[in-house]
Amino acid sequence: MITHLEGVLVEKSPAHAVIDCGGVGYFLNISLNTFSSLPVSGRLKLFTHLAIREDAHVLFGFADKAERELFLQLISVSGIGPATARMILSSMNPEELHKTIVNRDLNRLRSVKGVGPKSAERILVDLKDKLTKEGPPSELFSGPHNKIREEALSALVMLGFAKAVAEKAVDKSIKEKGNTATVEEIIKTALNNL
């Protein structure tokens, strides 16, 4: 499984991007949300999902892990394929989609091209509880902040704290400390929250 690609952006459009990784160009289908976060040119990293069908292998690219996770949640719903999931993520950013599902906003989901009333209801039924438990996707946990979060979480688990408890404490610490916090600051605040 290809989990991410890091390379030079060769081409981009609202529907796809081409990344050159070591002389090989990868064509990735992307959402408008990802397109808006792409640089004009230069190096970048996109998280990926490879959808394998009988007639094709289709690679999807995402600006962050939160968007990819929502994509995977969407395609786990019966009747929702990768193309529909990408259309939904093009219509709403990950935070808006999370809020739409948790608040059971059927009309907002139905307004997306390709999502009918039955599909929208199925998405709400299948994903509401899962997304409510996980909490909202946060930009704080993606990109460079994800590494800080993972290091802090790893340290707390090594100290003997249960992973689920440590995750909540680290997430709370990151929200309290903000974008400029170091790993050490996150750990200290997390220990106070435990």
pLDDT value for 155:
84
Q: Where are the domains of the chain?
A: 4-62, 65-134, 139-193
How many Cα atoms sit within 13 Å of 76 on the Cβ side?
11
Pick the CATH number of 139-193 from 1.10.8, 1.10.10, 3.90.70, 3.30.70: 1.10.8
**Can you identify the CATH homologous superfamily of domain 4-62?**
Nucleic acid-binding proteins (2.40.50.140)
Percent of the chain with pLDDT over 70: 93
Per residue in 45-66, pLDDT tens?
999 999 998 999 999 999 998 8
Question: Does residue 82 carry a pLDDT above 90?
Answer: yes
Computed on alpha carbons and rounded to an integer, the radius of gyration of the chain in Å comes to 18
Cα–Cα distance for residue pair 72/93, rounded to 1 Å: 15
**Nearest Cα residue to 98 out of 141, 76, 67:** 67
Higher local confidence (pLDDT), 180 or 19 = 19
Give the CATH number of domain 65-134: 1.10.150.20
pLDDT value for 147:
75
Percent of the chain with pLDDT over 90: 50
Question: Does residue 140 carry a pLDDT above 50?
Answer: no
Cα–Cα distance for residue pair 28/30, rounded to 1 Å: 6
